[in-house]
Structure 1
């Protein structure tokens, strides 16, 4: 049986105490024992004294696991009496498959959806961008009895979430008469003496443990406990003391509770993670089925019971070896709810009264009360209680005046109340009020007559009491009651009711207001300003507001034709307050005057609407080509026959090539004339033209294309004819192609010349035929002649106009003074980094070709120092990889006979600077250190732009920059840390960058602590210097010519010695044939492909400040002899010939195959040759020795 334990998050209103009962239960909160591990919101109830979820009253559902659907939960709030408050809940529906469903509850199971009205409004909105649902519950004009616990539940298929919140209402409570029954949060009592209190949650088991046994039954009924046997067993177990167990780290709780149809998970923690456990139900072992699931996770053991039923209400045990722990599972049935409430009744004295309600469970126990006093079966059997399934009926056989009052029925899940009124006699109605239908400004009179002239009554309109005023008059003369309304208005229409005082009936009638129909339009005239214009193809919708009561009928006509309702292209429809006329895809024939007539019994009204349909114009006729030019044409066309109802504002023209499918627009703004000159066409290409007409609505369809036409024009003359070069017997001419080639392709040019003073027709062709080039050299001319030259371009249309020189040319070579055109960027010093490439191009002029001479610093330029390449018009100075020695002044001289021109170019090769010199710590005071140094010896061939000073703590030796781009050679480093010892270093900086190495201070600066003076001891610095000494000498070698060879030795010395290699006492450091390597003191000289002349005595010399050492060896290079092989015809022998070209001698070695043992017929020829070669080398070595 269920155990009704309160849930802390959702308090339930305590039942009101009966009149005269002054005792109330005020339990003290007791600490709750540990709860079971639930798998969902309602899967398991906690142990004794713990809270139960409010969802226990819901029907069985497998979705009860909380999934966190809320993105914003409603928060508890406070409000004063009469104020408004809104609770907001938000749900993210991005991962939901269907729209979430939300429910609002007061207490545990009062659904507020049915209470929506004047005091409660529920709203719902959805944001499509964020996919968030927003649910709002707004409480309007709050009352004191609205206070309490509320719950919000949201679900979507298999997902569920719940949230509890509180509402506190401050201020004096009202009597509950106004708006009674509209919200009814807690079935408000109509008597103010009965207060609804919202007590804090109580621990039922704490109350029972301190109450006497005689009070158990009363407390059980008060808190909804129906299983007295289970209650007594649980109380007995609560008094037992638990013993410590060696097998269990955590036992089962004394009791669990679960709602019928839900699931529960029982959990224990064992000491041994590998131990096997058994689960028992009432002493019998449970077998694993679909409803019983056993789980083992580490030290935890779980028993899950799905779809709990009343048969699962039993004692469960977990057995580990000889020990076991036991618990009691209570399966709680849902609380009994009142499905159908009691209804107020008014009866005559002596009549039979039946107060009926319906509950959610058959056979449930209910309690009947009258004015707070419990009703029982007395001796006179005045009250009888009847049960019929879920129905419960209270029967009063003969009602009396004493039976008047408030009757209440209670269950453990709710209550319902109704009022019973008993009348002594019945009031007769001689004349009832009748329905009235009046017109505007008429008078309406409601009149009724009852049997008792002393009975007063109240008039209501739509449930609201009617108050008399200047237009409304209420009279009562004898038995006649009258309501008179003068100058009736539309707002007077409604249901009027007369309610006699003290009687449970009323008289009702309806006032119908007749309002003549009226059309409310501003465009009912046929003037141009009131005409409705619609573009053809668009939808025309006329929404005409109309008034009239009763609703008038609407008739639309066009001319003599009536437009009826339908689904065609033109149709009408009528709604409340509007009549709608629609044209789908307006056409020209829809233009005209439409009439609308509205009629009702009070009259009629008519309106005319002028509709004009406008469209784009018709296409013009095919354009005509009036004239054609070399790249243009003149086209003319006629205006369209129909302008679409709007004046034509212009035309748009297009053209295309006859063989193309793409039309090109010639103008984008409408052209107002009907004649147009089209330009920029290609000659020789056939074209077509077409035209569009444009009005304010849009552009018409295009006109038919014109007849094809072809623009044709001759080519223009060549341009830019000039003399490129001239000598005593020849001349070089050049020109550019004509600006306009013409419709045909350019075939070539003709060059002609004539003597000055000759006739115009004596032009002599310079060459036979045409030339495609734009330059020509004419040879075999007479020295001293004055000639005129001209050039003509030819295409399919013939020769163009000639291009001639401005004046005749004398055939004689012209001397040109040498001139160097030094580029502007070379007139200032050229700065390059070491390793960059220098490529200087310097143009010059002069005829005949001048002599070009380069020099550096006044000395002729060595070809190995820099590369120079000269041409007729320029010279190039190229240095592939610059070095510091390339810096200097370069002089360029161009000379023709005794005339010359000279320019100078300054080249500066810069490199990184060397480190500064003599960095010293000049002074240390406080937290400051004064430094001083000297500029570097090597400034990198450019100005020192600054210094970078860094400091480092000797503990970490991490360097930090003190100054950057510092210009002076002394500085002060401040803000040093007391007690630390610092060293400093300085980098020099020039245009290239920082010096590769820094200058470090030999001493360190110690920042003394205040009041402590430390004098470090002085030590004599050890001298680590050592003179060079070869630890491994060079070894004499004999090598074969043509193969790379190496000579190696090792040397030691401090500082690192400088190594120089010699061959026959000649320095070979800069020789490309030799490669010197040095690594970790091992010195290697590599000789690339040596020849016999590379033999000799090689010497290695190591020098440093402490001394020097020398080691040498002898190298012999042997010649590489050509080897010739000969083989017998029958592969019986092999002969090796060796020829020495210097000694003019040769050697031969004959070896028969039979001399090679061990199956020589299986050996390859290559193996035999290898063995023969080895024998020969051995023989050769022995002969040399």
Structure 2
């Protein structure tokens, strides 16, 4: 048993070594020799590498000057020179490693002087027992056949070889006959299929005739198998079939060998008789070899590429979405395991509870994860199941755990108004209006549209309603389409409604009655009235432009001016100005402006300006601390500071105190005042410096005071502190 281990798994195979049968192509024949003649025993076996031993009467023969043993190719010879009467006996050749022996007898012929001429009829001594069938010689195509036939007879007979009615030539040609005294050899060089057939050998002399027929069979490796086809596939295997070879080589087929390869590769891999452990989603090709006793055929033509693919797992989360008197809507989720084959669709089946006769609801697989089964019997309890299909077949079914009664379910109507429609919907003139409002209710609600409380009958406003929503659409909005639209859904005596405010707007018209009301210095005052047409929405401002009458170039002086009046400043002395005003709403500026009826001329005189007397502002106020003092804990020997912030006018006087005692000019303390930030610095405080510190600010308008607690601690050797 052979094993192979990889990081992806393991494989094993069993090797059976079948001993090849040794074939005897020419057996040794009995010999009759006279004294001092040479005796030659010869045999031919099918394997050139086979060695053997010669025995006489069961005793192994040792070579000598007179006895020689030779082995040339497949022919083994025992030659005995100058035969003696003691050489007579039974001779045996035993091949090494095979339970086989070839025997013949050596007869010693004593010479007798006889003056009467002796005649023996011819005799053909042929042994084809090693080839199986009687008088059948088997040869592998392309190999050489040499068949030696011993001939006896007195006088020496004439030999004739025939193939059918055709004479086999002697001494030349690929198929020929070689004759020596008592031995005739039939030779075929490079055997071919057309050499197969019946042959005959005929020997004649004055004493008679002998004839033997034999059949030469040419065998070869078989032709390649045909029609290699993949009949089915799985997740990691494929089932392969093929037709036997058209020609089996003349011997029975013993078996087949298979190889596989990936389409994108050139490497073929030998496998067993089922192509397991393939990779799902990879294209493979297969080829097959036929095997007989002669050898292995050429490979067959490659099979068509095939891909190992497994069906998906069952769909998940199958549930009922809706039920009516004759239909049932189902929905589900895709399978957890899909694989390389993907999903071609789903098949929905149903049956009556208690029955096992499943009926397919859809003729073609559906691609969506939902389906409505129609034509169901009213009031029946039905079971449903869904299977996923792909090129590998059907998945296991996903079945509802409980039966479903086919009956309409009453559900209160409800409008689900989208969030963006809960406020006013503003559209420009000419825009498309397309509003989708979903609703629910069973049976299907009756849907009605109203505009400003009146049934909607305007042909320029279209509606379209389905089982789950209603659509209001206007191909080109006009201002007269503005208003409140109401959608009402009703199921029997239950109803619900939703309102949508639509406002169709456009740019406003120009302001009217634009005129200059006053001119002084470098300034001009303008006034106007709102436009007659506001574009169906609020005016959010005005844009004012000025132009010098000399250049006629317009310049913007105000944008988004909210009031219908303004004062234009920084006019140039001596110039005459005209003005225009654009009204503005959410759509933009009006296309046309309102132009002032009169102009403003900036005169060169009257430029004196009487400045009003200046009055100082009183900013006096009593002191007030804006940042208080904060309690502090400090370490003895390290300088510390406390601070606060105060404001007041006139500038207040600052008084620092410790335990309600004025500190004064004590050099241990440094008092600072920087722009109202008051700081008291304490140089290397000791335990006696702890206590309550306060800061008082005083001016003519009042006073204010803040205080804090300062705690001084001394660090001890063991890490503890002493409090003051």
| TM-score normalised by the chain length of structure 1 | 0.26
Where relative contact order (Cα < 8 A, 6+ residues apart) is larger, the structure is 2
More helix by share: 1
